[in-house]
Amino acid sequence: MHILGHTKTLSHLKQLVQSSQLPHALLFTGPTGIGKKLVAHHFVQTLFCEKQTTSPPHPSPLTPHSSPCENCKNCLRVANRQHPDLFWIEPEKDLIKIDTIRNLKNSLALKPYEAPLKIAIIVDAHCLNIAASNALLKTLEEPPPDTVLILISSTPHQLLKTILSRCQKIYFSPLSAEETREVVRQKGGKIDPTLILQSGGQPGLALSFSEEACEIVKDKILPVFDAQPKDLLTLFSVAEEIAPEEELHKPILNLLLIRWKEKILANPLAGEVKKFDAIEQALRRLDHYANPLLTFENLFLNLCL
Ligand SMILES: [Zn+2]
């Protein structure tokens, strides 16, 4: 798990540990698809790696190396999310429920099994529902000893303010075009230079673009918006064409998001911001298994207004 970019973030995290100032709760935030989860894995490995843990029972202070070995039993178990002191939580159908947080709370109340501390990673923490948020808040208010919670979210404004105020924020910046290209290459993705630029330093996004999605957006969808009057019928036939092709849905919507982000940056009109929101809403609806045909028809209608 070699990490490309994020040098400052990694050294900041290391600094926190070395100076014994690692807080009980961190919030990893920044655009989607730039490597926040990867850095979380890497960070846990640097703390749990066998090559650097001092002998139990009192291994503190933690002494992380700049890079974990990635081959020892602990590094491998962290990579596979099978380490008994690592709790990895992800939303199910866009939701993190109270039961999940209650179980986490019970697990964190116990002493670490092997590692110097227990670490819980909550991916897409903005998916915590209100009951789960309140349960988590209690843990954040009275954190059990030897625990660190890492919340990950690209939309932290959707989290409760009381949760936000208890987490130390760690900001992630988009990667450079070169770093993005390298990540995409390593993952075996396409390296179309335009795509790299369009992904805005978010390799996860670049990897989600397929050639077919790009062509549909470039040749069939965007020309309609640039013409007057706008030919809604053409867009409806595009909606029919893409509705059955599930693998095209997210890439197309993400490409539209990028296009609208450019528009807003060039000319921040309220109408364009609304359209941007409509695209984000379509992405969320599809995550909730909305009817794709209706979702795309409704979106195209909104984008033509
Ligand atoms: Zn290791």
What is the helix (H) or strand (E) element at residue 256, kind and residue range? helix 246-266
Report every protein residue that has its C-beta within 5 angstroms of ion ligand 1.
49, 68-69, 72, 75
Non-local CB neighbours of 64 within 8 Å, separated by 6+ positions: 14, 17, 18, 46, 47, 52
pLDDT attached to residue 233: 92
Give the C-alpha distances (Å, rounded to integers) separating 230 from 83, 224, 278, 288: 55, 6, 18, 29
pLDDT attached to residue 52: 66
Assign 66 a pLDDT band (cuts: 50, 70, 90): low
The torsion angle over the Cα atoms of residues 213, 270, 30 and 25, rounded to 10 degrees, is -130
Q: How remote is the CA of residue 180 from the centroid of ligand 1, in Å? A: 26
**Structure confidence by residue, pLDDT tens digits, 163-187:** 999 999 999 998 888 888 888 888 8
**Structure confidence by residue, pLDDT tens digits, 92-151:** 988 999 999 999 999 999 999 999 999 999 999 999 999 999 999 999 999 999 999 999
pLDDT attached to residue 81: 94
Share of the chain above pLDDT 70, in %: 93
Q: How remote is the CA of residue 26 from the centroid of ligand 1, in Å? A: 23
Q: How remote is the CA of residue 187 from the centroid of ligand 1, in Å? A: 23
In the beta sheet, which residues pair with residue 26?
150, 168
What b/e readout covers 33-55, taking b as 16+ CB neighbours within 10 angstroms?
bbbbbbbbbbbbbbbbbeebbee
Q: How remote is the CA of residue 74 from the centroid of ligand 1, in Å? A: 6
What is the average pLDDT across 240-267?
Answer: 90
The two structure tokens encoding residue 26: 């961190």
pLDDT attached to residue 297: 96
Q: How remote is the CA of residue 75 from the centroid of ligand 1, in Å? A: 4
Share of the chain above pLDDT 90, in %: 57
Q: What is the rounded CA–CA span in Å between residue 287 and residue 225?
A: 25
What is the average pLDDT across 82-90?
Answer: 96
Q: How remote is the CA of residue 185 from the centroid of ligand 1, in Å? A: 25
What is the helix (H) or strand (E) element at residue 147, kind and residue range? strand 147-153
In this structure, is the dihedral angle defined by the CA atoms of residues 266, 267, 268 and 271, taken in order, positive or negative? negative
**Structure confidence by residue, pLDDT tens digits, 243-253:** 999 989 999 99
Q: How remote is the CA of residue 46 from the centroid of ligand 1, in Å? A: 7
pLDDT attached to residue 302: 94
**Structure confidence by residue, pLDDT tens digits, 10-40:** 989 999 988 888 999 999 999 888 999 999 9
Q: How remote is the CA of residue 64 from the centroid of ligand 1, in Å? A: 11
Q: How remote is the CA of residue 52 from the centroid of ligand 1, in Å? A: 8
Q: How remote is the CA of residue 55 from the centroid of ligand 1, in Å? A: 15
Residue 14 burial by CB count (10 A; 0-12/13-18/19+): exposed, middle or buried?
A: middle
Q: How remote is the CA of residue 43 from the centroid of ligand 1, in Å? A: 11
pLDDT attached to residue 63: 57
pLDDT attached to residue 57: 39
pLDDT attached to residue 208: 79
